[in-house]
Amino acid sequence: MAIDEDAPAKVNLTLHVVGQRADGYHLLDSLVVFTEIGDRLRFATAADMRLKVTGPMAAGVPADRTNLVLRAAELMGGGGATITLEKHLPMAAGLGGGSSDAAATLRGLARLWARALPDAPSVARLGADLPVCLAPRPRRMGGIGEDLAEVPQLPAFWLVLVNPGVALATPSVFAALNDKTGRPMPQALPRCGSAAELATFLRMQRNDLEAPALRLAPVIGAVLAALSAQSGCLMARMSGSGATCFGLFADPLHAAAAARAISAAERGWWVHETGLYA
């Protein structure tokens, strides 16, 4: 018996840092979506626990306990399984790849072993992004990641994701952030009727980690410029702690053309157009 689970990329359309707790954790207010592009995991029964990493972005991905997948498996309790992680997302890219992989592991092993998912506090202890990744759909994410709220239905739009091949450690980006008491998003998010309206709203919001990430990896500026220059790009912004950036498009043809143009100009960059995960 084998079970497959998607681990879609998480994109922070906004990321406001609104405070910091005494224990050092940062308080966020973020509008999060998930994309069709992502990793894929397969689970099969076995006598013991094994992790195999494959796929086009497998290089450098650990297959030991430093991989959050195995720590998620431990949280599910004792049991054997062969887990194959097919890696399509770059590491340390601001796309929540490791957290999404771990969330998919919880879902997959719960199905394989016919067990309940762990309780919410236990899931959150694996990582701040785990709660939102456990049920991947558009959400407003607050607190350190544990406060989740539904959002008004989003209009159809497409994203072009671009990573310049630079890995950024999230703690380093947060450490470089000067102001950690930014304003949150509006209490009530607007209902946007089109991709253009959504882009207008997003331009009034922020990713507070973009400026410190730019100081650590100036190439992010070139990525944002390349996206913004594409026909049909309604806005461009960095996702998460970077270095992946996204351009927002109203239709898949303009997104595909933009991805093709950027790939041709910058052959060393990771570039994908994608719709939202359904």
Active site annotation includes 29: no
CA dist., res. 226 & res. 219, Å (int): 11
**Count of Cβ atoms closer than 10 Å to residue 146 Cβ:** 15
Q: Which of 29, 39, 101, 129 is catalytic?
A: 129
Which pair of tokens denotes residue 131?
Answer: 């709660």
> What is the Cα–Cα distance from 244 to 219, expressed in whole angstroms?
11
| Cα–Cα distance, 54 to 33 (Å, whole number) | 25
**Helix (H) or strand (E) segment spanning residue 82:** strand 81-86
Instruction: Give the dihedral of Cα atoms 132, 137, 140, 145; nearest 10 deg.
Output: 10
Query: Is 129 annotated in the active site?
Result: yes
Given 4, 10, 101, 119, which residue is catalytic?
10
DSSP secondary structure code for residue 250 in this structure: S
Element of type H or E holding 27: strand 26-45
Residues 264, 250 contacting (CB under 8 angstroms): no
- Paired residues of 276 in beta bridges: 35
Report the b/e string of 60-94 with b at 16+ CB within 10 A.
Answer: ebeeeeebbbbebbebbeeeebbbbbbbbbbbbbb
List residues with catalytic annotation. 10, 129
